[in-house]
Structure 1
Amino acid sequence: MRQNLAARLGVWSAHHRRTAVLGWLVFVVLATVLGGAFGTVTASDEEMGVGDSGRAAEILKEAGIDEPAGELVMVSARTPGGWREAAADLSKALTATGDVRGLQAPLPSEDGRDALLRFAVKGPSDEAADRVQPVLDAVAAAGEKGAAHGIAVHQFGDASSEKHLSDLLADDLRKAEFTAVPLALGILLIAFGAVVAALLPVGLALTACVAAFGLLSLASHQLHLFETTYSVMFLMGLAVGVDYCLFYLRRERDERAAGRDAGTALRIAAATSGRAVLVSGLTVMVAMAGMFLSGLLLFKGFAVATILVVCVAMAGSVTVLPALLAGLGDRVDAGRLPFLNRRPKKGTRRGGGIAGTLLRPVLARPKVFAVGATVLLLALAAPALGMKTEQLGLEKQFGSDAPLSVSYKKITEKFPGGPSPALVVVTADDIDARPVRDALTALTRRAGDGAELTVHRAADVAEIAVPLPGDGTDAEARKALGELRDETVPAAFRGVAAEARVGGDLASSEDFGDQLARGIVPVFAFIAAVTFLLMLLSFRSVVIAATSIVLNLLSVGAAYGVMTAVFQHGWGAELIGSEKAGAIENWMPLFVLVVLFGLSMDYHVFVVSRIREARDRGLDNRAAIREGITRTAGAVTGAAVIMVAVFAVFGTLSMQDMQQMGVGLGVAVLLDATVVRMVLLPSVMALLGERNWHTPRALSWLPKVAHGEESPPAAPAGRHPAGAHAPH
């Protein structure tokens, strides 16, 4: 029988294991060294922008105008004017750092108890976060000194918040690495009961992540990245890398336990689980490619990162893993742990006892269980009908008790709109032309107190900073921004030969959300179409392809509902150390949709391939379902537990968006591996009967794909099947 690609790769690697292993190590080292040598390029704020605000940022960048990284420090006292001495000392300390410019005289609050120091960090704005530490130290020292006299000091600004975010992301990634890896290893030790067998998937997943990190650094020179991209890559790489190796290794061990010799067991594992890994990996990568249609640089970076790490993990699973298994032989069970899932005796198969017990009533009453599972998933998805999305502000992102959130809240309460004004950017052929000048003056006047006009005559560009009411991000601020964009600015420049765009933090957030809303439809359509086609090509069944889409949508809907309930409404948020945010991070729904569509195919392809394999051997539909589910139950359960554990780690990190991502993905994978794969999939397939495998006459041209491996029967102990040779 002609071997499929996965089988050929596995057999070649087993017979050339030294070349395969050394080649993998050279690839990992080379990718890491090159990535480190070239470094990573992160995206600037201008590149991340879209819409009107993005155009405003582009105008300033093209004109060579670099907005300084502004900082605000509020000094508060118990009595009016009690801040004067502390503010004067702090001003001297800030000047002494040599890293500030444009330090203005203290601006008192209305009640006289507070004063605001305004300044900018010297140097280019994109380097301000690296230069702000002396300023932070000076402010911290002033706060410690003033605490004894009832003086409180709060700081917030572009540089300080960016540094805080970068440091927090770095700490969270380290926490994820040092927590997720031991968790995965511990779960694999329980699953395999042997140290070497547990180390293989973790080792390959980690080396795949390391190599992908290097490749992503190289790719960042063409497609600049957002700070969270590496966290997403590690999350996906560890989960997928371990899963792929687990599927492969479990099949090889099962075949050895059934009496196959080493060569035959490895060949069967390569032809079956290896093929499922290739199909699943390809599906995940194509699904991730759908993020390119979002029109957002953030998602393009996520797409590149996940495609790279899945591709590397997939390649390692079908090449270096069989090479290592061939080299280790029975030593793969070295370091056995007593009482932990000992390897079955030869001549037996893992029977999926618990899975078989659970599956019996499902197949006996498929209609009842199909309806019950669907109702459960729809009930979990119900809260998503009221989902609200927004770009979460600092208080929601870091928590209301975080120092940066407290500072932001206190400053905006005393000095509304200060940290994040709207910015009207105007460009004209002649910025000093009378009509343009009159329009700028009229707009500044209409914007009210606090509006500041800056004209860059050399570049024919003008800026008007317009303070927004409220805290600069709430409903009041959004209403004011809408009036500025839709009424004030168009009225001021009607009939004037100038281009006026409204930017700023809030405008950028609104434009980002609008682009997401426009992008989710083409992204979903692409993913659904491609997934359908890949499943159709793999199984030659319209029914299997269609049910794949429906089951994935139910998993995604349930994940949306749980995320909404926990983070928007606050139901049980305190259990994971979070709090009610009142909304979901605006990029999260699209990201979760894409990732879950990809990850769900891991289990779906693996399980349905095993069912089809049994069907091709002549079993009837229900018998094939029973064998496919029970034979894959152990691998699916182990893989799901690892994925849920890894995602749960992200659910405990500091930032709200990381928590939402971890909880959403973790819940979805848990439901997908239990309710969907163990109940809904077999019950629906049982109800559909032979229609599962029917290929319409119009699609008879589709290529026939073998889902199993023609292999001789298991040999009695002490004998080898004819023609079988152990890898050498």
Structure 2
Amino acid sequence: MSTYLFRLSRFSFRRRRLVLALWLLAAVGAILLGQLSGGKTNDNFTIPGTESQHVSDLLVKKVPALSGAQTQVVFAAPVGSNISAEPYKSGVEAALANLKKVPQVVSVSDPYTAHAVSPDGRVALGQVQYSVAAAQVKDASLDDVKTAVKPAQQAGVQVEYSGSVYPGWRLVPSEAPELIGLVIAFVILVITFGALVTAGLPILTAIIGVVITLMGVTAVAAVVDIASASTTVAIMLGLSCGIDYGLFILSRHRNNLLNGLSVEDSAALAAGTAGSSVVFAALTVIIALCGLSVVGIPFLTVMGLSAAAAVLMAMLIALTLLPAMLGFAGHKVTKFIDTPLRRGHHEQVATIGATAPQRTFGARWARFVVRFRVPMLIAGVAFLVVLAIPYWSMQLGLPSGSSKPTSDTSRKAYDLTTASFGAGFNGPLLVVADGISGSADTQQILDRLEKVPGVDTASVAVQTPQTVVFRLIPKTGPNDPATADLVHGIRNQRAAVEGSTGATVLVGGTTASNIDVSSKLNSALPVFLVVVVGLAFILLTFAFRTILVPIKSIIGFLLSVLAALGAQVAIFQWGWGRHIFGITPSETISFLPILMLAIIFGLSSDYEVFVVSRIKEEFSKSDDARGAVESGTGLAARVVTAAALIMFSIFVAFMFTNDPTIKAIGFSFATGVLLDAFVVRLTLVPAVMAIIRSKLWYHPQWFAKYVPDPDIEGNRLQETFHPVPEAAPAPPTA
């Protein structure tokens, strides 16, 4: 592999103008395609094969009036006032009349006639029913909804919204997190390399890859439902992996230059050696992300494929565009920044790292870990186990109004509804009786539903000759475990509810759909773990030609991901970070654990490949297992540290948003990366390898005979390729 990558990078270096033009053309084409497509992301979570999805499909066929999206409009009179008194009632009725005229709206319920006024008389709930699903509700229609309720607001009524779609429901992307992350990444790279050009190249190439991916995802969103979080995850991984992959190759390139190689030979050799590690690292991430498709939930599959596309783009750019850019940069990558107080400091550090790596801080840390390998192993494992303790009390759920910021309209609607009606009114269930024969059977099922433990009220929402839809209000909120128990209880006792009516009773609605998503994700987790870890195990075994390295990598990954999830539970679910991060304690997002397993496993394999490949490279030179651990870890420590800090910074930057889902994702990813890079890969891995020593590289003879060697370290390349150092410049003549 190293030989092919060497040739590819040399071609890109020599034809750098053509390579740059092709990538810029791809970026411009992607931008035009994304803008002209008109694609938009949404938060529609479909779950084929579940009962709630069956209910949704049944409503489309038999009760189309309830098959579209809904907005719940909460009208609240001032504290101490009655919403049925004047002028509040007149304002609400005028707003309801206007809502009926909004495009795509098929019906609007009147809270005064539908008995939807709270017992304290302060709050009234109106239901706006659309003719289309949430993804098809136009922004213009939602803007008209805001305009329609102005008479109520002018009368002094507070108006808030919730439901499957409402004004402001779509996540509006903010460029602030990306800009913050890029600025921090640039600062880290300047500190690491001490050169502006070297710091800017990985960021520039990563941005080009992210633009192409993001615009491509936007174009696909015109024909496929893509969750809003998909673009965020794709940007996170596209930027972080793009910068990291460029960093690994660029670091090797600059060391080659400082050791006297020509620019062309240095760039080609860097891509042939470090590039092999980039390929295997990227493939591991891509496998993990594509493995999300085994879960069988479309929005998660699309999220994984979008992120995988971003990582693939980052890999291709690192192997082609970066060598081309190195051709344009020439020796500028070694042009160091001088400061008045520490003139020549960066050049001195870089020269030491290239010519005497044993004197670097990373080498000193590696020697420390190897010397105290047993205590460091015990301490590192104990630290991760303690952090993982909160994981065992994790509760899964999808975001609801209760988890939104207090300034969000859905959070205000949730709080007003809870205070005046009860938490269950925020998550009504739809119970569909299909094949019903008459009003007597309808009443029989209604009576049985009212007697189910956990039900506050039950009423008939829509009745047709053969299908009746009941609206069931639980006593508990939509994310309360008791509500999930209620849904499962009705389904488990379906025969008792149906009685002698001959009807088929099904439980659906948004709340039941969210419960089904969480349940399906939870049950798919073991399957996903086996598939992804199994494929990655095969890939890493092929790369390093030993089974002990992938086993060690997988165990370390499990420790770091459990610790990161434990920290997430403590901060976001237990509420330890409510004042620090401005959050409301709520359930762990149901798709976060499986997303964490995919992404952190892929990224941890990145660091595993970069660290272990350097150790193996040193071992192949010296045949000294323990010395190879010291020198290999020392060589990899500086660049892995910079890469991890960059990835950490980009993930943390996404916490500076108002969306609690993105905050939780950013925190979890950042914590997982930090723990895996510094605790596992730069501490536990060298400690274990120093204990096992040369036995770690054992493989049976048949393996060596039948399985090809990918030469991830580039040994064969360095044996066959003998670069000629650049001649020193001639001294000036007198």
TM-score (norm: length of structure 1): 0.89
Q: Which amino acid aligns with 1:639?
A: A
Which residue does 1:251 correspond to in 2?
252
Q: Which moved more, 1:516-525 or 1:113-122?
A: 113-122
The match for 1:411 is 417
1:726 paired residue number:
none
Q: Match of 1:675, SS?
A: helix
| Structure 1 residue 36, shift from structure 2 partner | 3.0
Could you say if the C-alpha distance between residues 337 and 642 of structure 1 is closer, same or farther in structure 2, counting changes exceeding 3 Å? farther
- TM alignment of 1:256-275, pairs within 5 A: 256-275=257-276
Shift of 1:381: 1.4
Deviation at 1:195, TM superposition (A): 2.5
Distance in 2 (CA, whole Å) between partners of 1:682 and 1:670 is 17
Q: Is the CA contact 1:197–1:332 (under 8 Å) kept in the aligned structure 2? A: yes
Q: Does the CA contact (< 8 Å) of 1:395 and 1:402 recur in 2?
A: no
Aligned to 1:365: 372
CA change 1:420–1:362 in 2 (3 A) is closer
Checking the alignment, whether the CA contact within 8 Å between 1:154 and 1:411 is kept in structure 2 is no
Q: How does 1:459-470 map to 2 (within 5 A)?
A: 461-470=467-476
Structure 1 residue aligned with 2:668: 664
Counterpart residue number, 2:172: 170
1:723 is aligned to none
Classify 1:470/1:322 alpha carbon distance in 2 versus 1 (closer, same or farther; 3 Å): same
Residue 328 of structure 1 deviates from its aligned partner by: 2.0
Name the counterpart of 1:651. 655
* 1:104 aligned to which of 110, 114, 135: 110
1:86 aligns with 2:88: yes
Moved more, 539-548 or 185-194: 185-194
Structure 1 residue 64: deviation in Å? 7.3
Q: State the alpha-carbon separation in 2 of the partners of residues 108 and 279 from structure 1.
A: 59
Other-structure match for 1:149: none
Cα distance in structure 1, aligned partners of 2:447 and 2:329: 79
State the 1:691 CA deviation: 0.9
Secondary structure in structure 2 of the residue aligned to 1:451: strand
Structure 1 residue 529 corresponds to structure 2 residue 531: no
Alignment pair present for 1:22 and 2:28: no
Determine if the alignment matches structure 1 residue 481 to structure 2 residue 487.
yes
Alpha carbons of 1:375 and 1:316: their partners in 2 closer, same or farther (altered >3 Å)?
same
- Offset at residue 719 of structure 1 (A): 8.2
Identify the match of residue 546 of structure 2 among 541, 550, 569. 541
Aligned partners of 1:352 and 1:634 also within 8 Å:
no
CA distance in 1, matches of 2:110, 2:528: 48
Shift in CA distance, 110/223, structure 1 to aligned 2, threshold 3 Å: closer
Distance 1:137 1:322 in 2: 55
Query: What is residue 299 of structure 1 aligned with on the other side?
Result: 300
Q: 1:114 aligns with which of 93, 117, 122?
A: 122
Between the aligned partners of 2:2 and 2:152, the Cα distance in structure 1 is 73
1:310 deviation in Å?
0.6
Q: Contact (CA 8 Å) 1:139, 1:153: kept in 2 or not?
A: no
- Give per-residue Cα distances to partners, 1:547-578, cap 9 Å, x unaligned: 11111111112111211221222234422333
Deviations 1:452-487 (A, max 9, x none): 242345xx5432222222345434544443443333
Query: Equivalents in 1 of 2:228, 2:440: separation in Å?
Result: 42
Aligned partners of 2:320 and 2:109: how far apart in 1?
Answer: 61
**Aligned-residue CA RMSD in angstroms?**
2.8
Opposite residue 175 of structure 2, the aligned amino acid is R
Q: 1:587/1:615 Cα in 2 relative to 1: closer, same or farther (>3 Å)?
A: same
Pair 542,481 (structure 1): closer, same or farther in 2 beyond 3 Å: closer
Q: Match for residue 124 of structure 1? A: 132
Q: Which moved more, 1:40-49 or 1:122-131?
A: 40-49
Report the 3-state secondary structure (helix = DSSP H, G, I; strand = E; otherwise coil) of the residue aligned with 2:169: helix
Change (3 A) 1:601 1:46: closer
Residue 319 of structure 2 is aligned to residue 318 of structure 1 = yes
CA distance in 2, matches of 1:17, 1:83: 75
Contact 1:7 1:275 in 2 (8 A): no
Taking the aligned partners of 1:667 and 1:39, their CA distance within structure 2 comes to 36
- CA pair 218-125 structure 1, distance change in 2 beyond 3 A: closer
SS of 2:622's equivalent in the other structure is coil
Q: Which amino acid aligns with 1:246?
A: L
2:19 maps to 1:9: no
Following TM superposition, by how much is the alpha carbon of 1:275 offset from its aligned partner in structure 2, in angstroms?
0.8
Q: Distance in 1 between matches of 2:7 and 2:554?
A: 30
Structure 1 distance, partners of 2:413, 2:573, is: 24
2:202 paired with 1:197: no
Q: Identity of paired residues, percent?
A: 25
Asked if 1:225 corresponds to 2:260, the answer is: no
Structure 1 partner of 2:557:
552
Letter of the 2:128 counterpart = A
Q: TM-score, normalised by structure 2?
A: 0.88
Once the two structures are TM-superposed, the CA of residue 162 in structure 1 deviates from its matched residue by 4.1
How much has 1:142 moved relative to structure 2?
A: 4.0
Deviation (angstroms), 1:115:
4.2
Provide the rounded CA distance (Å) in 2 between the counterparts of 1:500 and 1:45.
24
Q: Does 1:506 align with 2:511?
A: yes
1:32 aligns with 2:31: yes
8 A Cα contact 1:390 1:586, kept in partner: yes
Tell me, yes or no, if the aligned pair for 2:185 and 2:646 is still in contact at 8 Å. Answer: yes
Q: Distance in 1 between matches of 2:637 and 2:180?
A: 26
Write the distance in 2 (CA, Å) between the matches of 1:96 and 1:219.
35
2 CA distance for matches of 1:52 and 1:514? 12
Q: Indicate if the aligned counterparts of 2:68 and 2:129 stay in contact, CA closer than 8 A.
A: no
133 and 612 in structure 1: CA distance in 2 versus 1, 3 angstrom threshold: same
Q: 1:83 to 1:180 in 2, by over 3 A?
A: farther
Residues 1:379 and 2:383 are matched in the alignment = no
* 1:117/1:375 CA distance change after superposition, 3 Å: closer
Q: Deviations over 1:693-723 (max 9, x none)?
A: 1112342322123213415488486189xxx
Query: What is the CA–CA distance in structure 1 between the aligned matches of 2:567 and 2:43, rounded to whole Å?
Result: 33
CA distance in 2, matches of 1:697, 1:201: 41
